[in-house]
Amino acid sequence: MSNPRAWSLLAVDGARQYGGNTGYQDDPSQVYRYDSFVANHQQVAKDDVVIIRSPSGVLGVAQITGIELGKGEKERQRCPICGVSDIKRRTTIEPPWVCRNRHEFSEPVRETVTVDTFAAHYGETFRSAPPGLTLDRLAAAVVRPNDQMSIKEIDLARIEPWLRDDPDCNALVKKFVIGIDIDTVSTATNDDPPHSVIEARRRVLRELNQRRGQAKFRNRLIARYGAACQISRCAFPGLVEAAHIRPYAETNDNGAHNGLLLRSDLHTLFDLDLLAIDPSTLTVKLHPDVCAAGYEAFAGTPLFLNGTSGPDLAALSDRWESFLLRQAPEDASSQSVPVAIPV
């Protein structure tokens, strides 16, 4: 999955100066040029959604179709007093230059440096910004606000209502939603945008991620047993989940010995004590209702151990007892035989 991100890009027709750098040449409807001195230059990628802004308004919305890499030289300007490059030219105050340390000066020190150059192309996808998308609304969507950054990451969900009013921009939103990667969805917050298809997608992925199990716990199980269900051998990543044998809420145990890799539906049956692993044989046992529902093929299936000693037998025994309690009385009485646990 590409897992696209969204960015607000400051562009000005002609040359622009930023943070002591000069020489950017922008064509806002076609390409955005930047270099290795610009913050976030390594983060912007193909398929990311970009909102092009100028100092006076939002110009357009696009999706990056490719990034051209190169080398170049540029003029770098520094404060003559402290040497920092974070400087700004003022138009109404003398002396005209000031640095972040508040040193004022008439002219900066100028030097030529070699830089990596980047040209993000998006011309064929560029659309004029919808009327409701203002600079203030765009600024409110910035993830880590910083007035001195020309490339700012934004949460696209926060400007989604204005994008969805335009059919072309709405199409970009839909493509963005499809590309969201389950492994990168962050924890929900109280101020998540309501009525957002992006946030709705994130919510679903958060639930799936929680269901799959904590990443470190799941990775431990995959390292031990391989990346497939230990019963069905299903290897599709989106369906294979990390199941605790003894519930984590009771034990805080995320060790590989306390887990199984199970297909999502088998995980549900295991959590409901409708499926269990017989600790004496390490084979699958099913509740009669589950067999009747079409799962009988899994009855008696040996648990895949990948050449290891397998999970903790004491933990399996605890779950086995819970499973037996779910059986019909006659079944429970015939199966509730004490299990000898190897020491």
| The predicted structure's pLDDT at residue 16 | 47
CA–CA distances in Å: residue 152 to residues 38, 50, 148: 11, 10, 10
Could you report the per-residue pLDDT of 197-243, keeping only the tens digit for each? Answer: 888 877 777 776 666 657 788 899 999 999 999 999 999 988 999 99
- pLDDT, residue 197, reads 80
Is 67 within 8 Å of 46 (Cβ atoms)?
A: yes
Task: Using DSSP, state whether 273 is helix, strand or coil.
Answer: coil
The pLDDT assigned to 184 comes to: 56
Cα–Cα distance measured from residue 25 to residue 72, given in angstroms and rounded to the nearest whole number: 13
Q: What are phi and psi of 168, to 5 degrees?
A: -70, -45
How big is the chain, counted in residues? 343
pTM of the model: 0.58
What are residue 200's phi and psi, to 5 degrees? Answer: -65, -40
For 23: left if phi > 0, alpha if psi spans -120 to 50, otherwise beta; the answer is left
In the predicted model, residues of the chain with pLDDT beneath 70 are 1-2, 13-26, 147, 182-195, 208-213, 249, 328-343
pLDDT at position 19, please? 44
